[in-house]
Amino acid sequence: GAGVSQSPSNKVTEKGKDVELRCDPISGHTALYWYRQSLGQGLEFLIYFQGNSAPDKSGLPSDRFSAERTGGSVSTLTIQRTQQEDSAVYLCASSLNRIGQETQYFGPGTRLLVL
Amino acid sequence: GDSVTQMEGPVTLSEEAFLTINCTYTATGYPSLFWYVQYPGEGLQLLLKATKADDKGSNKGFEATYRKETTSFHLEKGSVQVSDSAVYFCALGGSYIPTFGRGTSLIVHP
């Protein structure tokens, strides 16, 4: 069956531009997560959704970052006025339900480079 | 809050050597524990998990036992292969958000 997909796979942008990253979770998975992976670093948790709701947005690095999920399925992570330090791989994962306790299925990631 | 600490890498071994990657955690409640693996050029995938104390997760020759008394979930394999070269992440899944360690790079030489 289809796994988690993310688009684009690579994105190069200029500093100050806005970017939008998309995640398609596994069908039927109610929980969705966004992470950031920088070179040589671990996974930095950004935000999670249970259904369409994001109960805690405190993991987002700044107010330039926002995320939404519609129809309990597709999610978009938007970064406004990108900065060079935003360069990283952005990973999306989904799980069947129940935040935290269940296996997460990861997408291949979007590699973002801000020039 | 919850946290995961795993040994820093890279860990460099010869083929058929014994592997241990240490992982300890702090958490409230009764979390599930996971090891994820990221092979070069690929996304993260689940390697094994354990959902309660004394459970042993195993997969592809890797094992880890959920030790509540020592708050540990060390990853072991008796004989590593070149194809095991990857980055390994220990993770904790509590009632709240998942928490990942920083990852340990394993390099296996022929």
Using CB atoms, pick whichever of A41, A100, A109 lies closest to residue B97. Answer: A100
CA distance A78 to A33: 14
How many angstroms away from the CA of A106 is the closest CA of chain B?
A: 6
CA distance B16 to B34: 24
Of B21 and A55, more confident:
B21
Give residue-wise pLDDT tens across range A102-115.
889 999 999 999 99
pLDDT confidence of residue B95: 64
Q: Are the C-beta atoms of A105 and A5 separated by less than 8 Å?
A: no
Write down how long chain A is: 115
Of A91 and B1, more confident:
A91
Give residue-wise pLDDT tens across range A19-48.
999 999 999 999 999 999 987 677 888 999
Sequence-distant (≥ 6) Cβ neighbours of residue B69 within 8 angstroms:
none
A91 CB near a chain B CB, below 8 Å? yes
Using CB atoms, pick whichever of B32, B43, B102 lies closest to residue A106. Answer: B43
- Flag if A56 and B97 touch (Cβ within 8 Å): yes
Sequence-distant (≥ 6) Cβ neighbours of residue A115 within 8 angstroms:
A12, A13, A14, A15, A84
**Tokens of residue A109, six digits:** 């990631």
Give residue-wise pLDDT tens across range B45-90.
999 999 989 999 999 999 999 999 999 999 999 999 999 999 999 9
Residues of chain B with C-beta less than 8 angstroms from the C-beta of A91: 43-44
| Residue B37 C-alpha from the chain's centroid | 8
CA distance B7 to A110: 27
Residues of chain A with C-beta less than 8 angstroms from the C-beta of B95: 99-101
Lowest mean pLDDT among A64-68, B6-10, B55-59: B6-10
